[in-house]
Amino acid sequence: MKVRIGSRGSTLALWQAEHVQQRLAALGHEAAIRVITTTGDRIQDRRLEQVGGKGAFLKEIEEAMLAGEVDLAVHSLKDVPTALPAGLRLCAVLERADPRDAVLASSGLALKRLPAGARLGTTSLRRRAQVAALRPDLVLQDLRGNVDTRIRKLREGACDAILLAVAGLERLGRRGEITEILEPDLFLPAPGQGAIALECRESDGPVAAAVAPLDHARTARAVAAERALLAGLQGGCNVPLGAYAVEEDGMLRLTAFVARADGSGLLRGQARDADPLRAGAALAEQLLARGARELMRG
């Protein structure tokens, strides 16, 4: 069958869309990519939470899907809100790439070795809170733009170090520029980080059937737990929050944190359960009982 894919126009988004296009071709399906400019791409001079949160990277693509102009959207799962527009659903989650965050530093120094007062660029509240908790002596600077733009700003001296997702760097062939990879036991990724999600119309059985072989069950279980935690905390782009689930002996071990935007009061917790939705709900309940809602308000 023919599938019309909607994608953002960034180099990374197009890599992901072309990857899905190739996977579908291998299954005997023809796919064409239509580039759609989103609010998040268009407005680069304001923080994400001021322009609609991470959903700002999806809105126009989802509207095109609901209007019947495209059949399938390819997203970085970490950008997908837990509540989708009526009439749309996630139909597959591809096997997760490296979920970790990376430091790129012009000095070649690891995060703990950066000198006091070094300027670290990131707009992510999650990354900012964790850096502030680990290295309160660093100066945090807002830094938006795609991967290439952020690395260019680092090279031009706009900041001394930046934080990016390892998965995006790998997909663009830029893993060699990483100074340090931050392990999840020290620095938690965003829920769904490293995973590519496919979204289609709820009523579109043929497209859902076409992409079903791309769904990776182990990844889907892990990210379901992370997103259940996110939903339970009602956390979005405005909340410094990280979550990561790993499979251990048939059980999911889910770790998460919430904090104030300045990194203070950071709460970290863990839950284990065979059921991803139960794991996420249980950890959300645990963190809320320990004062997470007050932290997220602050």
Among the listed residues 41, 71, 79, 160, the single catalytic one is 79
The 3-class SS string of the chain reads CEEEEEECCCHHHHHHHHHHHHHHHHCCCEEEEEECCCHHHHCCCCCHHHCCHHHHHCHHHHHHHHCCCCCEEEEEHHHCCCCCCCCEEEEEECCCCCCCEEEEECCCCCHHHCCCCCEEECCCHHHHHHHHHHCCCCEEECCCCCHHHHHHHHHCCCCCEEEEEHHHHHHCCCHHHCCEEECCCCCCCCCCCCCEEEEEECCCHHHHHHHHHHCCHHHHHHHHHHHHHHHHHCCCCCCCEEEEEEEECCEEEEEEEECCCCCCCCEEEEEEECCHHHHHHHHHHHHHHCCHHHHHHC
Q: Token pair for residue 109?
A: 């120094």
Active site residue 79: yes
The CA distance from 76 to 191, in Å, is: 11
The CA distance from 276 to 103, in Å, is: 30
Positions annotated as catalytic residues are 79
